Amino acid sequence: MDGRYRENVKAGQQVDVVKKQDQGTGHLTDGVVDRILTKSAYHPHGIKVRLSSGVVGRIKKIYK
């Protein structure tokens, strides 16, 4: 699924996100979506979410 579309993102999903400070390296952090922070239906760099661990980042991969 494409993490750039809000309709594909649901709370409780397992995802990989890139944190703001990791954008240069592309280092991904995995976790479970706690809250969706992006209000728009689409974002070219990925929908911004808060993970259950408290990490905030943009979705790069959604696990089914």
Q: What pTM value is reported for the model?
A: 0.94
In this structure, what are the phi and psi dihedrals at residue 43, rounded to the nearest 5 degrees?
A: -140, 125
Percent of the chain clearing pLDDT 70 (strictly above)? 100
Percent of the chain clearing pLDDT 90 (strictly above)? 97
Domain boundaries, the chain: 6-62
CATH fold label, 6-62 = SH3 type barrels. (2.30.30)
Q: Specify whether the backbone of 26 is left (phi greater than 0), alpha (psi in -120 to 50) or beta.
A: left
Identify the residue with better confidence: 1 or 48.
48
